[in-house]
Amino acid sequence: MFKMLFTGDYSPSGRYETIVINKSATIFGKLKDDIQNADISFVNLESLYVLQILV
């Protein structure tokens, strides 16, 4: 079986920014295995930094 994963509005900012930068913990919890086991993943990236640059 082919496994596809669709996610939306991923934005490692705010309180999650430090966690992501330091890689001290995962913000995905129990979903980590599903993410790693997907054959293909689609992620809608959201970024306040990009918006700040464009405005």
- Domain parsing of the chain, residue ranges: 4-54
Q: How confident is the model at residue 17 (pLDDT cuts 50, 70, 90)?
A: confident
**Does residue 7 register a pLDDT over 80?**
yes
Q: Give residue 26's Cα distance to chain centre.
A: 10
pTM for this prediction: 0.55
**Does residue 4 register a pLDDT over 90?**
yes
Query: CB of 35 within 8 A of CB of 28?
Result: yes
| Bridge partners, residue 42, by sequence | 6
**Does residue 15 register a pLDDT over 70?**
yes
At 49 the pLDDT is 57
The CA-atom distances, in angstroms, between 3 and each of 6, 31, 34 are 10, 14, 9
At 16 the pLDDT is 75
